[in-house]
Structures are given as structure tokens and as C-alpha cells.
Structure 1
Amino acid sequence: MEELLGIPLPALTSQLLIGLVNGSFYALLSLGLAVIFGMLNVINFAHGMLYMLGALLTWMGLSYLGLNYWIMLIAAPIVVGVLGGIFERTMLRWLYKVDHIYGLLLTFGVTLVVEGLFRSIYGASGQPYSAPGALGGTLDLGFMLLPAYRAWVVVLSLVVCLATWFVIERTKLGAYLRAGTENPKLVEAFGINVPVMITLTYAFGAALAALAGVLAAPVVQVSPLMGTNLIITVFAVVVIGGMGSIVGSILTGLGLGVVEGLTRVFYPEVSATVVFIVMAVVLMVRPAGLFGKVN
């Protein structure tokens, strides 16, 4: 059996692919955070809660309404996006002109309330959710058997990330979004309702988090606390990529997932903290992040 630095190649490639799957979740979640911060200048600590809602709504749709995975793949992000829009319109919009800490505290407080509510109903233990039958098999890659569902997660995450980047960076709508955050009065002069545009932007970021939750439901146990630990890592990904950088969030999320997978092979003891080690090194060399704008 071929080896690299004493590690069998099949084990190494398996961890690489597992890291790519984890990186897909990091990329999708950090993308939503980057959209909200880049467009609205809000540090959205509620992102982990929105991720949890996407997964929990998917489980509830199957358990209570008999709705399958494919329906919830569309329905859950829409529902969470609407809830996110309501949250932005009723509470968050009053904090745009004050210090970032107030938005952070508000979103953190709402997260504690929502997670506590669902925890009191369902408890802290996870609920199982099976992958859809169409994606229940495996793909023979020659050196390993890759679950078809995990391949689906990687492909769909990449498609969504690239589509989001294209809309924000290469279309007129994206130009309006960027201009609306920098000079709202000028954009309003063109007849564009900037407050509605801001609400839709937050709703879209919330929907991205919920989509990641739907994709995660068959991979992890669905729990009211599933977003608590993950959101810290995702914030680290966003900081490394550069706060508000769409490209930085996508590339850093995927890259750190792979790095995390490789660390499990070569140095398992630090696999849980390697993201934060990378963050510390990057911030010492480039405080704005790898793709962030230096003022």
C-alpha cells in the first residue's frame, strides 16, 4: 500500500474529502456572515441559530407534516429568510448607526432565547434525520467509497457560493447592494428603496445559513444547540478570509476544511484548534484577513 510520510494514501485521501465536506459547510455559513457584514456592517451572532433553525425545520417538516427532504431544501431557507427579514425590520435596523457591539449583543441575546425555547421543547439530545433515498448510496472513487450525499453537499455548496459571488460582484443588483451600504442617499435618488433592499439582504444571508442547516441535517444530529459550537469556528473563518469578503469566505472555508482534515491525519491532537491557530498567525501578519481591505 502506498504511503505518504508514513500515512496510507487511502486514509489521507479519505480525510481530504471529509475535510472538503466540512469546508463546504464552513464556506456556506461564512458566506452568509460575509454578506450580512459586508452589506449591512452587522456582526450577526445569530447565524448559528439560523443554521440550527434550517436543520430543525427540516426535521419538523418530516416528523410532523410528512414533507420530504427535497421540499424542505427549498421551504426551510424561505421560512428562515422571512423570519430573518422580520427580525431585521423590527429590531436590528435601529442599531445600524451605533457601535457594532450593540448589534452583536442583540443577535447574541436573540440566539439564547430561541435556542433556550427549542431546548425546553426538544431537549439537548440530537434527532436523527436520514439522507434522501436518491442520495443514499455511495460513489466508488477507486481509493475509497464516498457517500453520495456528501458529494451532493460539496457540489450544491459550491454552486450556491459561486452564484452568490456572481450576483454580488458581477451584476447590477450587486452594485446597487454595495452602493446602498456606502451611499444610501445616492441610491435612493435612483428610485431604489434602500431599507427594503437591506431587509432582503439580511433575509438572504439568513436563508444561506438555513440552507447549510438543511444540508447538515442528514450528516449530524439535529439539535437546538448544533449551531453553538460551529458558529465560533465560522467566525474564525470569516476573520481569516477578511470581514465582508465574499471570495475570502468561500476560499477560506473550503481551504480550512481541508487543513482540518489533514490535521486529523498528521497531528490529531490539534485538529479541533487548528482553525484558531491559523487565525492567530494570519492576524499577526495581515490584520485585515487574507482577502480583506486594508484601510
Structure 2
Amino acid sequence: MNLFEIPLPVLLSQLLLGLVNGSFYAMLSLGLAVIFGLLGVINCAHGALFMLGAVLAWMGMEYLGLGYWTMLLLAPLVVVGFGVVMERVLLRWIYQLDHLYGFLLTLGIAQLIEGLLRLGYGVSGLPYSTPDTLTGATDIGFMVLPHYRVWVVVASLVTCLGTWLLIEKTPLGARLRAGTENPRIVASFGINVPLMITLTYGFGVALAALAGVLAAPVMQISPLMGQNLIVIVFAVVVIGGMGSILGAVATGLALGVIEGLTKVVYPEGSSTVVFVVMVLVLLVRPAGLFGKEL
């Protein structure tokens, strides 16, 4: 089907769906970019922590009667606690080693998390309803706009913008960047560099958990939901440039839209279009669109 032959309501609905998926790609790749850019760790556990955020939201509703808005704050905090323990007990020992060690260690942690939750809940999926305040949709003439999907896009954009401003435009962000590039000099100014590194990792995994809670009402919650996304998210990070925060956000949103449009024009190619783009970009710019050439 030619792009110009697609009815406008269908085209716009796919654009919205692409933006929603792109919002999840952007938030997840943002967390990966923060962790790799500041700590040099390829965090394969990121997808599992995204899934853990969604599962915690379901557990809060099912066992404690806690609503969506409460778990939107509580689930990332719980995952931060888990991430801090993981960083202090395991990851701190491999920072000076080859990236492969971090890759394998976090891959093992991801498999452990997913295996335990599969053992407890299976893979059939757990239902999570849209919060009452965000149910329904608005008819804007040429399409019906679901309120929750608009909320996901807005929340993701605000989170991504806030993260970029924090790291690139504040004294705290400058200390974080300096602490990872030359920790000895930064420590000589009385700054607790190990604590900064721990908090940076905690912040990165909090972004994954927050995306998980946002995804709970629109994706099927299961121990495999992160596994299905993480390969695409790694491709997004590579296209944007490893460690580039701006690249992660811009590429995530753009690829979500491209994927959505591909589902209309050529549905069979929607699952591979991201990787086609990755190959083309790497042929021209091996460091990614926003990465720094070595």
C-alpha cells in the first residue's frame, strides 16, 4: 500500500501507536544510555527491571489494593533499592574490566529475575486495568484519541527532558560526568564518588521501572515482556550512539513512529525495520547518529 493511499484516521492512529511505542523505547534506551554513558556498563538486566516495574504495579494492586498512581511512585523506588544492592554487591567489582564482563553479569541477573517470576506467575500474562482518571477517549473529528496513550507520551517526554536537563545542564550532572571520567580528581574535592555512581545506576534502573508501570495498562504483563523489548532498545541505543542521552530519546521516538507506519505500509516488515535502520546508520556512522567518533 502506498503511504499516500492510507486513510487519514488510520495513518494518525498508527502515528499515535508509534509514538506510544517510541515513548517506551525512549525511556528504556535513556536508562541504558545513562548507565553506559556514566558507568560504562552494558546493562542487559534493563529489560528485566522494566518488567519488574510492571509486575510490582500488578502486585501492589492484587495483594495490597494500591492504585496506579501510588505504584507509579512506589514501584520505581523498590526497583531503585534492588538496583542499589545489585550495584554495591556485584557491579562495583567489574567497572575496571572489559565491557563483556558487565554484559554477561547483567545478562545472568536478568535471566534469574525472569526465571523466578516465570516460576511464580507463568507466562500467560497478568491483567492491569487503566486508571479511572485516564479511561475513555476524545473524538477530535478525524480520529478518537485514547486518554491513556496521550498520558504515556506526555509523561515519557517530560521524563526524558527532565533527565537530559539534569545531566547536561546542572552542577550535579557535571559532577556525575566528571566523577566517571576522572574519579580521583573529583574525590580530591571531597565528593563521594562511589555514592554518586550508585545513585546513577539507581536512577537508570528507576527509568526502566517507571516505563514498566506506564506500560502495565497497555501491554500484557508477563515475565517475558522485557525480553521482547530489550533487543529493540539495544538497537535504538546503537543507532542513537552509545551513551548519548539526546540520541537515545530522539532515536527511540523516531523509530517508534517508523515502526508504526511500517505496520500500515508493509506489516511483514514492521518487526525488522528497526534493524534495517540500524544497519544503514552503522554503515554511514559507526558511532551512531549522536555518538562521538573515536
Task: Name the TM-score class by shorter chain.
Answer: over 0.9
State the superposition RMSD in angstroms.
0.9
The one-letter code sitting in structure 1 at the alignment partner of 2:174 is A
Specify the alignment match of 1:183 in structure 2.
182
Aligned to 1:59: 58
Partner Cα distance (1:124, 1:290) in 2? 36
5+ residue gaps, structure 2, are none
User: What corresponds to 1:218 in structure 2?
Assistant: 217
Task: Measure the CA separation in 2 of the matches of 1:259 and 1:153.
Answer: 18
1:26 aligns to what SS in structure 2? helix
Secondary structure at the aligned position of 2:145 is classed as strand
- Asked if 1:50 corresponds to 2:46, the answer is no
Separation in 2 of the partners of 1:234 and 1:139? 31
The TM-score with structure 2 as length reference comes to 0.98
Kept in 1: contact 2:3–2:265 (CA 8 A)? no
Residue 269 of structure 2 is aligned to residue 263 of structure 1: no
| In structure 2, C-alpha distance between the alignment counterparts of 1:68 and 1:288, rounded to whole Å | 43
**Other-structure match for 1:163:** 162
Once residues 139 and 59 of structure 1 are traced to their aligned partners in structure 2, the CA distance between those partners, rounded to angstroms, is 27
Instruction: Give 1:4 shift.
Output: 5.3
In the other structure, the counterpart of 2:118 is 119
What is the letter of the counterpart of residue 63 of structure 2? Y
**C-alpha displacement at 1:5, in angstroms?**
2.3
Aligned residues: 293
Which residue is equivalent to 2:199?
200
- Indicate whether 1:78 and 2:74 are aligned: no
Structure 1 Cα separation of the partners of residues 139 and 191 of structure 2: 51
Which residue identity lines up with residue 18 of structure 1 in the other structure? L
SS where residue 43 of structure 2 aligns?
coil
Q: Secondary structure at the match of 1:50?
A: helix
Residue 27 of structure 2 is matched in structure 1 by: 28
CA apart distance, 1:283: 0.5
8 Å Cα contact 2:13/2:143 also seen in 1: yes
Unaligned runs of 5+ in 1: none
1:235-291 deviations in Å (ceiling 9; x for gaps):
000000000000000000000000001111111110011000000000010000000
Q: Matches of 1:159 and 1:171 in 2, distance apart? A: 17
The answer to whether the 8 Å contact 2:32/2:237 transfers is yes
Identify the residue that residue 151 of structure 2 maps to in structure 1: 152
Once the two structures are superposed, what CA deviation does each residue of 1:10-30 show, in whole Å capped at 9, x if it has no partner?
111110111001000000000
Superposition deviation, residue 140 in structure 1? 2.0
1:235-246 equivalences in 2 (<5 Å): 235-246=234-245
Q: Percent identity?
A: 69
Letter in 2 for 1:151: V
DSSP 3-state at the match of 1:49: helix
